[in-house]
Chains A and B, each alone.
Chain A
Amino acid sequence: MKKLSYILAALVGLSMQFAIAQTPKGSILIKNATVITVTKGTLENTDVLVQDGIIRRIGQNISAPSGVQTIDASGKYVMPGIIDAHSHVALDVVNEATAPIVAEVRMKDVVNPYEIGIYRALAGGVTVSHAMHGSANVVGGQNATLKHRWGSSNPADIIMQDAPRTIKFALGENPTRVHGRGNGIQPRSRMGVEAILRNGFSEALQYKKRWADYNAAKSQKGNSMVAPEFDERLQTLVDILDGKIIIHCHSYRADEIYMLINVARDFGIKKLVFQHTNEGFKVAPEIAEYTMGASVFADWWAYKFEVYYSTAFNAAILQKNGAITSINSDSAELIRHLYHEAAKTQRYGGMTDDEALAMITINPAKQLGIDDKVGSLEVGKQADIVIFEGHPLSSYAIPQMTFVDGVKYFDIKEDKDDQRQQVSATEMVEPIMLTEENHRCMQDTEYLFETANALFSLHNH
């Protein structure tokens, strides 16, 4: 018996090793570039040495160890791989819109490594994306943090296995529309959204207590207590309360943002990031004091009523008030030029180069809990790197090469145009899409709105 468990343990250990070792790691020496580390300044005529997927040295006159390829990046800019804290790229399904709380569903179950959007994001310098559940539910599903290891057919390969768990929450128009208006159940208003949250967490506390009572009783002699029924949904809420999961909450209006801050404080939840957060600027001091900040659009507004009172200066106001601020895409199109979106904080609010670039690198890394691994060019970090022609904040900048773990997945000069990995055998004619699927926050809820307005619902975020 003991022998068997040893063998089993060894097998489990081996398979884990296999799972981790499976993704490719590269070695490369990038020479003579302007290296924008984001966290440690910008270095002229500098080399970056990557070995086995890790940044080993940053400095001058580094020579290539044997077998390590050298790239001459004279006149070019090198920066950390861009991180998109809000994306739906590489997801087959986005919304499980069947209940106000669906904490048990996981986006890692619907990751599609064949999606061309991954390559297109790489072509825009994006190496990590936060593949999120949609915004149909107050408490949505658990998100997946992806590393864009384009070319693998295994979904597990493009999931960043060492990233912490995160979960999608959503406030305001989308959950009230789907549930209140669509299904005739709470929440129909922002009052109901708060009630769903407080009721959910209170129920989770009771669930946690039932298990605690049971576990305590188990060790008592003569105990006849029956184990509580396992409930994945409530257990996930317990994990949030225990600080094991970072909340990423779709939100727009200041009142609802403030509401969630209060709910989180009442329940002792500290790992909270706001998404979109168009009116975040109105409660910037509160966001800075009590949360892990906000991930916002550079300039989107007015596509729905709750973003009508927005400002493109949102990111600058949040940043100057001390909130961790990132710029995200939520779009298969925008994800391709986040460097340009970040630059908009210079037009709208005069951010410095490092402040602007932090919003698409180290700041989203902090919000995803991966800032010890990626988000800046520092020795010891994973080698997610982009090489640009032109300064990345110039509107004329063009990404040239993108590396994940030191492996090159995009090269503007060498790559063939058609990057599809999978072509449908039954599709006689390739479809032509005039407006590509770049707005997916409410995808898979269309059936609820079979009206002339169906189109509008698709353009909501």
Chain B
Amino acid sequence: MQSIYKTFFAFLIALTPLMAQAQIDGEFVKPRSGKFLLQNATVHTITKGVLSNTSVLIENGKIAQIGSSIQAGDAEVIDCSGMVIYPGMIDSGTTLGLVEVNSVAETVDYQEIGNFTPNMQALTAVNPNSEAVPVTRVSGVTTVMSIPQGGLFPGTAALINLVGYTPDQMYAGFKAVVMNFPSSARRGRFDRRSDEDIKKDNEKAQKEANELWEKAKNYHELTSKGATLEYYPEIAQLAKVVAGELPLMIEVNAAADIQNAIKWVADKNAKVIFSGVDEGWRVADEIAKAGIPVLTGPVQDLPTRQSDRYDAAYANAGKMAKAGVKVALRTNDSENVRNLPFHAAFAAAYGLGKEEAWKAVTINPAEIFGLADQLGSVEVGKVANLIVSTEDPFETRAQIMHVFINGYRIPLSNRHIRLYQEFLERSPALKKN
């Protein structure tokens, strides 16, 4: 009898791996690197015109060849006839990966305690496995700035590609110290400070900014002369801006604040980028004259003032570009960064034009971030961040057919798509049986 039991148990144990297998249905599709030939598309290079009946070869994560008669060799051939190829879009301002569910404080990692925390690294807190990452990249947005929020100097932002399982794998090669320039504007309806208080807060913040900058300057001067100073990671980080090692990304929106910010940076010899710039259109000439590039958006936004024309935010990017400002676009979003192409379309329709709007989500940010040799256009040697679409990806109805990031072929799946597949025809449907 016992031997029967023993045999039975032995049988069960032998079966275990099979049983474990039996609980898994189907196979998970992972991002996959390799050699891919995207064949016979209309290629919108952004920097070198539009090439019809053209193929693009991806190898070792890079764009290896562009041409009309590339030999496939051992490459996986993907027929792109009738389709368009564009470079992956870059969103120049998001909190993607830094927040999962905005109302659940435990999942919000974009803001630290304190007003002066420039050493806080967005790249540390970016969650490579955020549900928002696969939701975003199937839209053709392949690269985003992930930006800490909050105080005067809330942290250091990082540019990431939306593929990889560690921050280092995602890192796209650009960081900047973030500054929220002292604001004379209200944050919103909930901001019930008196005009007097707003003025006071603004003056206090200006003073603090000046003092911190002086400290950072001293820190830099002393350390560059070989001094060993006490551990002061906040000032050490800001000193990198003084030294020109890191750019300063200044969030500034109201017209008067933009003018003040232009004055403030004039004698600082720092690499400066403005972000937000909601009222840039009011002082576009001054921004252009100062030669400061701008990361602006969201485009689909309300005007800052009741008296403004209804389309002030739609038209902002176009007006700045016309004045000669280098403009890149952002959504300033986390879970809906996927709407970047639509923000770009609105900017295009309200004055920026399609061509400039495309630049504002590709080559312009690449240039602003000093990565024009790697990102932002379809050119040989650049990182293979590419999208294949049925038509202009800014069009709402366009279907994105293929996405490549860092040369990885990205599975066109995410939770939104899986739920669609499960629930379009639910089983059981209305009745129990």
Interface Cβ pair total, 8 Å cutoff: 183
- The chain A residue sitting closest to B132, CB to CB, is A302
Contact B416 A310 (CB under 8 A): yes
**Is B59 in contact with chain A by the CB < 8 A criterion?**
no
Distance in angstroms from A245 CB to nearest chain B CB is 27
Contact B396 A393 (CB under 8 A): yes
Distance in angstroms from A285 CB to nearest chain B CB is 4
Contact A347 B307 (CB under 8 A): no
Given contact pairs A286-B430, A434-B185, A304 touches B302 in the complex (Cβ within 8 A):
no
Distance in angstroms from B352 CB to nearest chain A CB is 11
Q: Which residues of A contact B420 (CB under 8 A)?
A: 281, 311, 313, 316-317, 348-349
Contact A397 B349 (CB under 8 A): yes
- The chain B residue sitting closest to A124, CB to CB, is B310
**Is A119 in contact with chain B by the CB < 8 A criterion?**
yes
Could you say which of B187-195, B205-213, B289-297 contacts chain A?
B187-195
CA distance A281 to B424 in the complex (A): 8
Contact A459 B190 (CB under 8 A): no
Could you say which of B46-54, B100-108, B226-234, B242-250 contacts chain A?
B100-108
Given contact pairs A281-B423, A285-B426, A348 touches B348 in the complex (Cβ within 8 A):
no
CA distance A313 to B185 in the complex (A): 38
Number of B interface residues in the complex (CB < 8 A): 63
CA distance A123 to B313 in the complex (A): 14
**Is B183 in contact with chain A by the CB < 8 A criterion?**
yes
Distance in angstroms from B331 CB to nearest chain A CB is 12
Q: Which residues of A contact B398 (CB under 8 A)?
A: 347
CA distance A386 to B256 in the complex (A): 37
**Is B338 in contact with chain A by the CB < 8 A criterion?**
yes
Contact B396 A456 (CB under 8 A): no
**Is B1 in contact with chain A by the CB < 8 A criterion?**
no
CA distance A383 to B419 in the complex (A): 40
Could you say which of A56-64, A214-222, A227-235, A413-421 contacts chain B?
A413-421
Contact B419 A281 (CB under 8 A): yes
- The chain B residue sitting closest to A418, CB to CB, is B307
CA distance A75 to B394 in the complex (A): 22
Given contact pairs A304-B101, A304-B103, A123 touches B423 in the complex (Cβ within 8 A):
no
**Is B174 in contact with chain A by the CB < 8 A criterion?**
no
Interface size class of A (residues with CB under 8 A): 35 or more
Contact residue among A304, A433, A454, A456 (Cβ-Cβ distance under 8 Å from B186): A433
In the complex, chain B residues 134-159 whose Cβ is within 8 Å of any chain A Cβ: none
Contact B189 A433 (CB under 8 A): yes
Contact A300 B336 (CB under 8 A): yes
Q: Which residues of B contact A248 (CB under 8 A)?
A: none
Could you say which of A13-21, A161-169, A336-344 contacts chain B?
A336-344
Contact with A along B193-206 (1 / 0, CB 8 A): 00100000000000
CA distance A49 to B269 in the complex (A): 64
Contact B426 A396 (CB under 8 A): no
Contact with B along A265-306 (1 / 0, CB 8 A): 000000000000000011011100100000000011111110
Given contact pairs A434-B185, A436-B188, A282 touches B338 in the complex (Cβ within 8 A):
no
Distance in angstroms from B361 CB to nearest chain A CB is 13
Q: Which residues of B contact A438 (CB under 8 A)?
A: 302
Q: Which residues of A contact B254 (CB under 8 A)?
A: 432, 434
**Is B377 in contact with chain A by the CB < 8 A criterion?**
no
Contact with A along B268-281 (1 / 0, CB 8 A): 00000000101100
Given contact pairs A285-B426, A311-B415, A430-B305, A346 touches B396 in the complex (Cβ within 8 A):
yes
CA distance A435 to B253 in the complex (A): 11
Given contact pairs A317-B423, A320-B424, A299 touches B339 in the complex (Cβ within 8 A):
yes
Contact B346 A395 (CB under 8 A): yes
CA distance A281 to B301 in the complex (A): 29
Contact A305 B104 (CB under 8 A): yes
Contact with A along B298-326 (1 / 0, CB 8 A): 00111111111111000000000000000
Contact A347 B396 (CB under 8 A): yes
**Is B335 in contact with chain A by the CB < 8 A criterion?**
yes
CA distance A446 to B100 in the complex (A): 23
Contact B307 A332 (CB under 8 A): no
- The chain B residue sitting closest to A115, CB to CB, is B306
**Is A120 in contact with chain B by the CB < 8 A criterion?**
yes
Given contact pairs A395-B345, A434-B304, A302 touches B396 in the complex (Cβ within 8 A):
no
Distance in angstroms from B184 CB to nearest chain A CB is 7
CA distance A337 to B313 in the complex (A): 13
**Is B417 in contact with chain A by the CB < 8 A criterion?**
yes
- The chain A residue sitting closest to B107, CB to CB, is A305
Contact residue among B185, B354, B416 (Cβ-Cβ distance under 8 Å from A433): B185
CA distance A333 to B350 in the complex (A): 16
Contact B426 A417 (CB under 8 A): no
Contact residue among A120, A285, A303 (Cβ-Cβ distance under 8 Å from B310): A120
- The chain B residue sitting closest to A394, CB to CB, is B395
- The chain A residue sitting closest to B339, CB to CB, is A299
Given contact pairs A312-B416, A438-B302, A446-B190, A347 touches B184 in the complex (Cβ within 8 A):
no
Given contact pairs A432-B185, A437-B189, A302 touches B100 in the complex (Cβ within 8 A):
yes
Contact B310 A123 (CB under 8 A): yes
Contact with B along A428-457 (1 / 0, CB 8 A): 111111111110000100100000011111
Distance in angstroms from A52 CB to nearest chain B CB is 29
**Is B369 in contact with chain A by the CB < 8 A criterion?**
no
**Is A197 in contact with chain B by the CB < 8 A criterion?**
no
Most buried by B among A304, A305, A395, A459: A395
Distance in angstroms from A327 CB to nearest chain B CB is 12
Given contact pairs A304-B102, A304-B103, A434-B188, A420 touches B345 in the complex (Cβ within 8 A):
no
Q: Which residues of A contact B426 (CB under 8 A)?
A: 282, 284-285, 321
- The chain A residue sitting closest to B308, CB to CB, is A417
Rank and list the top 7 A-B pairs by shortest CB-CB distance, nearest first. Answer: A395-B345, A343-B396, A436-B302, A313-B420, A417-B309, A432-B185, A346-B397
Which A residues form the contact surface with B (CB < 8 A)? 116, 119-120, 123, 173, 281-282, 284-286, 289, 299-305, 308-313, 316-317, 320-321, 332-334, 336-337, 340, 343-344, 346-349, 390, 393-398, 417-420, 428-438, 443, 446, 453-460
Which B residues form the contact surface with A (CB < 8 A)? 100-105, 131-132, 183-190, 195, 253-254, 276, 278-279, 300-311, 334-336, 338-339, 341-342, 345-346, 348-350, 354, 394-399, 415-417, 419-420, 423-424, 426, 429-430
Known contacts A301-B335, A332-B302; can you find 4 more A-B pairs with CB under 8 A? A284-B426, A311-B423, A437-B188, A437-B189
